[in-house]
Every structure is written in C-alpha cells, then in structure tokens.
C-alpha cells in the first residue's frame, strides 16, 4: 500500500486535506513522539521533585545522622512522631494557619473580586497591582518587616496607643495567645491578593449573558453573587484553596524568621520541625518522617478540597 510519503508532491484535491489520509492516526490521538516532547520537563521534574520526595520517604525508615551508615528502623520514626505531643501541637498549629492562609484570603478575595468587577472603578489596574503586591515580595523580607511592626515598641502598638487603645497592645510575637494569629495575619495579607487576581480573571470568563439574565430575573447583587459568580468561579476557588493550603502547611520562612517557633512552642510548625531535626539535631530519619507525613497530608487535603468544592458547586 503506498503511503502518503510515496506519493508525488501534488497539492491535495480541494476539500480533502492530508490529515484525512487513512494511513495517519486521527488528529489529536496520542502518538509516541509526544513522550519525546515532554521528556526534558519530565527529567527535570523527576530529578528535582519526584526522586527527592521518594528518597525522603525511603530515608524516613532509617535512623541516620546524615554521615554514618543508616540503620533500618522500620516504622519507628513514625511511631515516635505519633507519640510526640510537641509534634501534635505543630500539626494543630498548621490547621489554625489554614484558616488564616487559606479560608480568610479566599473569602476576602471573593469579596474584593466581586465588588471590583461590579463597580466601575477608575484606576482598577493600580488597585489590583497594589493589592497583589505582597505576593511578589520574598517571604523572608516580609517576615523581617512584620517582625518590626509587631515589636513591643513597634508601629502596631504605637498606632494602638495613639488611638487611645494602648491597653490592647501586646508584645505580639512573644504572647502565648497572640503569636500564632499574628503570624497567620501576615499569611492572610500575603495570600488574599493571589486569590483576588485569580477570581478577577475567572469572573471575566463568565458569560455576561448570565449576569443579564440574572438581572432581568430581578436578582440583587447578593443573589447574583451566589447564583452566577460563585458557581462560575468553581475552578478558580479550587486552585486558590489548593495553593494557599499548601502554603499554610509548608510554612517555614515566616515562623523561622519571626519567632523560631516561640514563645515556648506556641508557633511551632511541622516544617520547622523538619529543619530542626535534620540540621540542628542530626536526626535525618525523623526529619524525613515528618516531611513525608506533611507531604501525605497535603496530598490528601488537596484531593478532599477538589472533591468537596466540585461536588458542592455542581
């Protein structure tokens, strides 16, 4: 059977393109050559993400100081992890941070996006840029600045004093009650810009006919938000929740720079424990066990969020 390549190079007859040739697979069908295209990215991803992750998982079954030969200990690192009340506290703090890093920013982002898209505001781009700005500043720089803001003589307490609310002042980062929310508030401030930009982009994608229909049906702004905007942003909400939850759970830089887990262990988080165990205590196996557990929790949470949001909104 002559293949298309054997044919003389003549232009195909009108109305019949080469891709219609019976010898080639239908357009869009997977072809093996595709793997070659993704190979470079796959190699980089595999070398720097998948292999280290699996390696860390493997290490979590050993007792290893980072230098001498590791000893296999089975699940012992995980058993100790479950029995360690300080580590339970650290994971609990992570859950609190999810509220600040994820739920609050998504709520604020929705509110801002819905109002910014409805109201004809002059200089919208400027507003959007300013609100998004915390996202592009390195976390460590933010942490240093917020450490100053929260200092006992810092701007926050000074402002409270000026307003005659000096009695509400605290040594924020040294307060056993307020330190964790103080760090969380920084997370909220950093994350809501991301959520807002995602939602603004999502709203533009919603057909304006839906809004017209809602208005013709006599829906107010609130009804319109719940009936049109919110369902239309389903995918963006999933993305925003996933990104911010991952950020909340792997939070290290803010805590390390601002409080080192203090006062006491009031702001201890799992990622800080990974760092302390691996680089300060010299217990790499235990550090890997905490890291792997964290990775599994993040993975499970992402799946749950995807399921929940998609089901509830469809």
**Helix locations, the chain, DSSP H:** 33-45, 51-59, 76-83, 85-98, 104-118, 124-136, 139-150, 155-162, 179-205, 208-216, 221-224, 230-232, 234-249, 253-258, 270-275, 284-313
147 interacts with another protein by CB under 8 A? yes
- List, in order, residues 6 or more apart from 14 with CB less than 8 Å away: none
Q: Which of 13, 22, 138, 220 binds another protein (CB under 8 A)?
A: 138
What is the helix (H) or strand (E) element at residue 72, kind and residue range?
strand 71-72
Separation of alpha carbons 163 and 293, rounded Å: 46
121 interacts with another protein by CB under 8 A? no
| Contact yes or no for 109/239 (Cβ under 8 A) | no
Q: Which of 33, 67, 119, 216 binds another protein (CB under 8 A)?
A: 67
Task: Build a one-symbol-per-residue string for 279-298: x at contacts with another protein by CB under 8 A, - elsewhere.
Answer: xxxxxx--xx--xx-xx---
96 interacts with another protein by CB under 8 A? no
Q: Which of 181, 263, 302, 309 binds another protein (CB under 8 A)?
A: 263
The burial of 86, by beta-carbon neighbours within 10 Å (0-12 exposed, 13-18 middle, 19 or more buried), is given as exposed
Separation of alpha carbons 1 and 21, rounded Å: 13
128 interacts with another protein by CB under 8 A? no
Which residues between 168 and 187 bind another protein (CB under 8 A)? 170-176, 179
Nearer to another protein, 171 or 231 (CB): 171
Separation of alpha carbons 297 and 142, rounded Å: 27
- Scanning the structure block, which residue is given the tokens 């229909």? 213
The CB-of-95 to another protein minimum distance in angstroms stands at 18
Task: Build a one-symbol-per-residue string for 216-255: x at contacts with another protein by CB under 8 A, - elsewhere.
Answer: ----------------------------------x-xx--
| Contact yes or no for 181/98 (Cβ under 8 A) | no
Q: Which of 80, 135, 265, 306 binds another protein (CB under 8 A)?
A: 265
Q: Which of 150, 192, 199, 225 binds another protein (CB under 8 A)?
A: 150
The CB-of-290 to another protein minimum distance in angstroms stands at 9
Give contact residues for another protein (rule: CB under 8 A): 48-49, 51-53, 55-56, 59, 65-68, 138-140, 143-144, 147, 150-153, 170-176, 179, 250, 252-253, 256-257, 259-265, 271, 274-276, 278-284, 287-288, 291-292, 294-295
């Amino acid at each position: 059977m002559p293949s298309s390549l054997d044919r003389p190079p003549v232009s195909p007859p009108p109305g019949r393109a080469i891709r219609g040739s019976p010898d080639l697979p239908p357009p869009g069908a997977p072809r093996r050559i595709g793997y070659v295209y993704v190979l470079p990215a796959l190699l980089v991803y595999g070398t720097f993400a998948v292999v280290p992750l699996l390696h860390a998982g493997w290490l979590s079954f050993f007792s290893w100081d980072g230098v001498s030969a590791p000893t296999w200990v089975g699940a012992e690192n995980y058993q100790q992890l479950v029995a360690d009340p300080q580590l339970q506290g650290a994971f609990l703090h992570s859950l609190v941070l999810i509220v600040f890093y994820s739920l609050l920013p998504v709520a604020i982002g929705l509110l801002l996006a819905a109002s910014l898209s409805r109201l004809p505001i002059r200089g919208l781009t400027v507003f959007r840029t300013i609100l998004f700005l915390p996202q592009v500043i390195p976390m460590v720089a933010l942490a240093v600045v917020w450490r100053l803001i929260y200092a006992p003589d810092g701007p926050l307490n000074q402002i409270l004093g000026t307003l005659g609310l000096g009695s509400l002042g605290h040594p924020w980062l040294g307060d056993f009650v307020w330190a964790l929310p103080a760090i969380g508030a920084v997370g909220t401030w950093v994350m809501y810009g991301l959520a807002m930009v995602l939602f603004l982009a999502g709203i533009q994608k919603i057909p304006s006919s839906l809004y017209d229909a809602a208005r013709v049906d006599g829906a107010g702004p609130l009804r319109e938000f719940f009936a049109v905007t919110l369902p239309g942003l389903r995918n963006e909400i999933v993305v925003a929740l996933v990104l911010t939850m991952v950020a909340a759970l792997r939070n290290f830089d803010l805590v390390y720079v601002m409080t080192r887990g203090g006062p006491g262990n009031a702001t201890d988080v799992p990622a800080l424990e990974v760092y302390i165990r691996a680089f300060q205590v010299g217990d790499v196996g235990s550090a890997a066990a905490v890291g792997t557990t964290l990775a599994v929790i993040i993975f499970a949470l992402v799946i749950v969020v995807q399921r929940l949001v998609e089901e509830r909104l469809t």
